[in-house]
Structure 1
Amino acid sequence: MNLDEYSQYDACGLAELVQKGDVTPKELAQLAAKGVERVNPALNAIVEFYQDRLDNGFDQTLPDGPFHGVPMLNKDLSAGEAGCLEEMGSPLAKGRVMQEDSLVFSQFRKAGFFNLGRATTAEYGLLGITENRATGITRNPWDTNCTPGGSSGGSAAMVAAGAVPLASGGDAGGSIRVPAAYCGIVGLKPSRGRISQGPARSDAHVGISTPFALTRSVRDCAVLLDCLSVGHAGDPYRMPLPGAPFQTSWQDNTGPLKVAYLTESWYGYDTNAAAHASVMKTVDFLRQEGHEVVQDGPQIDYQAFINAALNVWSAGLVVNLKSLAERFDRPNISDHVLSSTARFFERGCEISAETYIRSLMVFQEVTAAIGSLFETYDLLVLPMTPRSAPPVSFYDPEPGAEIDFAQWHNSVYANDVFAGVFNVSGNPAISLPLHYDETGMPMGVQIAAPFGDEARLLQISRQFEQAFPWAGKTPPVHVTKPLSSNGDMT
């Protein structure tokens, strides 16, 4: 097998080849390593590659799970592996070694994946870009002048570039879905409580964040969801297992559905023509398939929502950064983080108990609005982002300078405007690479479903995957394309 052949398969496809004896796990790992070596100079998406796991004879025994022998990368945040570094994209956490597997990583391991290294992340997962002082700028394989998004930008870039079929991610405000949209791959955010964040990680963000992965196919999402849907004693949010495994139910017919759609955001950000057209093409397909489609959406005070979200994220960050500063004897936190992260921290230190509780009340209002919508509709179709991936670099004010929060928000979060409400409500949502803008950049379309209904979300996603196949569409930076001497793909 060569890289051209390797990169044509999703994770399930590679696992099938291993099972049939057509290729060995070692051969797949070597191909992944070759792919990383080829594309990473252009993307800067790897924090650490575990070369020793290849050099030591590959004598590690892999569990005989559904992904037995398939290589993966692990985001440097939220899915820690015992004995390995997890530095969260920040100099403040430099040298942080995980003492035990997170439950989600233990499930990746049981599924049979072979982890080859750490992928870059936004610092503490805060930003919708993957740029930080620890690892620099991670770039988009469709256009290296653009961002792959954040916070799971390194994972998205490497999956899109063909180095691995799947990489872990976490989504607290679009951190899986937005990078998937920018990079032309699949990004599912499961329902709150579907996947445990235990055992060691506290829930400082009241259930906003959920771990999962970035993938090339819908079936990888379905099979992986079965693998990761394992609760842990004491989880603050825990969902019962579905009546049928996702890996079988995702192929069922949905029957006629009532679908809402919207093309404009609830905050006044204009979607560009490509984002609008992407939703309308999606709507046209649904109507052709016999579904009832109505223009509608939840009524949300987005300004109140974003203020509440900034309060909750900032308050949680205070706990995390103070803990790291004490552990590593780095008391001057602002010396070790981006100035934007320091502003989050400062905001968090100023939040009163009353402000925090009022922020949670706003979250409840958002949850009620979205819940009410899904009493009428089976699905909601909307843009994933108002436009395709923006250029790298962002507004990060100098230490001590007065921050223009409107400018800062527009720089960092404007393209996440359609994402975060589903983290607060807990509903499952997926970004699918259905369309491209006039420059050829991917335009993801987002579909959200009622709480706990990943099955229907995957079923409709399968129909789109068949109607708008994205397999085989490769970006300019890809493992099948040689790298020139200056680091560009030829």
Structure 2
Amino acid sequence: MSAGEIAAGVRARELRAADVVAAALERIERTDPQLCAFAEVWRDEALRRAREVDARLDRRGPDVFLPLAGVPVAVKGRHGLRAAGPLLAAGCVPVGATSVPGPGTPWQTWGLGAHGRTVNPWRADRTPGGSSAGAAAAVAAGLVPLATGGDGAGSVRIPAAWCGVVGLKTTSGRLPSGDRTGLAVPGVLARSASDAGLWWTVVSGERAPAGAALPVPAVWSPDLGFADPDPEPVALARAAVERLVAAGVVRLVRPRVPLRLADPGPAWLALRTPGSDLAGAERVRAENGRRLAGLFADAELLLTPTAPTAPHGHEGPGDVYSTSLTWGFNLSGHPALSLPAGFGGDGCPAGLQLVAQPGREALLLAVAREA
């Protein structure tokens, strides 16, 4: 069931939160020894919280409304519960902490769960992406309908693409983040855009996003002017764009100035490395921001592949940066969303990335709901 269906059923008392959460815990117990999506499972605490949700609804007054009543949610990492206050207030029930890369693990490879290395639900010999590895795997495998993530360079969007789910990175500064550089921001992984929209409504305090005025003018870029993605993820993303065009969801436009961003990689790494040339990094940030502002003067969306390659094996990608198409928007602060775009010849999913102007998460979610 979707998060929306669970919450509606629990609020109507057609479902008991305790039963929903117990079923999720049973799925995790049965599946996670192979998937390794969870670092910790909070069985007793989750059941206690679920019973509290039921009790609150049983005795509720007319002013009680829990938009995510009884929805099992996984939180990223062992400390993810610290930022889950709005979800708890909305009736969510955290069931455990998802895997992230272990100590000394190359950041671009895999997550480390309680049972071992996190695997991609579609192919166990492939990575689910990182660093929100367990979050994406748990949602894709149906263990939970929602999982929180954090995105510092693509850590929500890349796992979403490689596991075939929806992943939203929020606008920099829009939600609280403990990252000193400002590059890492909160996000969510969900099986549908509607569920991601429920999460956004709860954590942002915005009203439920209305539908966008369709078709939305959009610019397609396979490489952002500097990257060198593989042909297959580009072809899958482009095919997804054509489906959106055929459905009347987007309308492709040609910008007055072709988009050619400066490679954000050196600037991103400088901001993460003490003693680096921050002035140079800020020049790249400012110049790319100027170029993106020019594009968004002509269109409301930028469309790209989410990742430049298919999911790699657990030994790592070698010299290929899976972040090449995502981390520029951590540098610029724009919100971005990864949508499932189909399957490659290896049987693994690929993603289409949607980017909007800062503060326009509602547009991304509205377009994604129409996909």
Distance 1:148 1:158 in 2: 10
Distance 2:260 2:335 in 1: 18
The alignment status of 1:217 with 2:192, answered yes or no, reads: yes
Comparing 363-372 and 416-425, the one that deviates more:
363-372
CA contact (8 A) 2:22 2:47 kept: no
CA contact (8 A) 1:159 1:216 kept: yes
The offset of 1:208, in angstroms, is 1.5
Distance 2:18 2:164 in 1: 28
Which residue number in structure 2 is paired with residue 278 of structure 1?
237
Which residue number in structure 1 is paired with residue 92 of structure 2?
113
The alignment status of 1:269 with 2:269, answered yes or no, reads: no
The offset of 1:362, in angstroms, is 1.8
Which residue number in structure 1 is paired with residue 148 of structure 2?
168
Distance 1:257 1:57 in 2: 42
The offset of 1:131, in angstroms, is 3.8
Provide the aligned length of Structure 1 versus Structure 2: 359
Which residue number in structure 2 is paired with residue 36 of structure 1?
28
The offset of 1:460, in angstroms, is 1.4
CA contact (8 A) 1:129 1:153 kept: no
Structure 1: runs of 5+ lacking an equivalent: 1-8, 82-100, 231-240, 316-350, 396-406, 465-490
The alignment status of 1:301 with 2:223, answered yes or no, reads: no
The offset of 1:447, in angstroms, is 1.0
Which residue number in structure 2 is paired with residue 228 of structure 1?
203
The alignment status of 1:388 with 2:306, answered yes or no, reads: no
Over residues 458-486 of structure 1, what are the superposed CA-to-partner deviations in whole Å (9 max), with x where a residue is unaligned? 2211111xxxxxxxxxxxxxxxxxxxxxx
The alignment status of 1:363 with 2:285, answered yes or no, reads: yes
The offset of 1:377, in angstroms, is 1.1
Which residue number in structure 1 is paired with residue 125 of structure 2?
145
SS in structure 2 of the partner of residue 147 of structure 1? coil
- Output aligned runs, 1:421-460, within 5 Å: 421-460=328-367
Which residue number in structure 1 is paired with residue 213 of structure 2?
254
Counterpart residue identity of residue 73, structure 1 = A
Which residue number in structure 2 is paired with residue 80 of structure 1?
80
The offset of 1:257, in angstroms, is 2.8
SS in structure 2 of the partner of residue 416 of structure 1? coil
Distance 1:21 1:61 in 2: 11
The offset of 1:293, in angstroms, is 1.1
The alignment status of 1:289 with 2:269, answered yes or no, reads: no
SS in structure 2 of the partner of residue 431 of structure 1? strand
The offset of 1:120, in angstroms, is 0.4
CA contact (8 A) 2:66 2:90 kept: yes
SS in structure 2 of the partner of residue 415 of structure 1? coil
The offset of 1:356, in angstroms, is 2.1
CA contact (8 A) 1:265 1:271 kept: no
Distance 1:441 1:375 in 2: 35
Distance 1:161 1:208 in 2: 29
Which residue number in structure 2 is paired with residue 122 of structure 1?
101
TM-score (norm 1): 0.68
Structure 1 43/261 Cα, relative in aligned 2: closer, same or farther at 3 Å? same
The alignment status of 1:157 with 2:137, answered yes or no, reads: yes
The alignment status of 1:183 with 2:175, answered yes or no, reads: no
Which residue number in structure 2 is paired with residue 92 of structure 1?
none
Structure 2: runs of 5+ lacking an equivalent: 57-64
Comparing 58-67 and 416-425, the one that deviates more:
58-67
The offset of 1:272, in angstroms, is 2.1
TM-score (norm 2): 0.88
CA contact (8 A) 1:283 1:293 kept: no
SS in structure 1 of the partner of residue 40 of structure 2? strand
Counterpart residue identity of residue 459, structure 1 = A
Structure 1 228/57 Cα, relative in aligned 2: closer, same or farther at 3 Å? closer
Which residue number in structure 2 is paired with residue 416 of structure 1?
323
Structure 1 371/134 Cα, relative in aligned 2: closer, same or farther at 3 Å? farther
Distance 2:117 2:154 in 1: 19
Comparing 42-51 and 142-151, the one that deviates more:
42-51
The offset of 1:288, in angstroms, is 5.3
Identity %: 28
Larger Cα-atom Rg: 1
Over residues 421-480 of structure 1, what are the superposed CA-to-partner deviations in whole Å (9 max), with x where a residue is unaligned? 11111111110113111232111111111221122212211111xxxxxxxxxxxxxxxx
Distance 1:138 1:437 in 2: 21
Counterpart residue identity of residue 110, structure 1 = A
CA contact (8 A) 2:118 2:133 kept: yes
CA contact (8 A) 2:224 2:259 kept: no
CA contact (8 A) 2:219 2:302 kept: yes
CA contact (8 A) 1:131 1:393 kept: no
Over residues 90-124 of structure 1, what are the superposed CA-to-partner deviations in whole Å (9 max), with x where a residue is unaligned? xxxxxxxxxxx33xx11111111111111001258
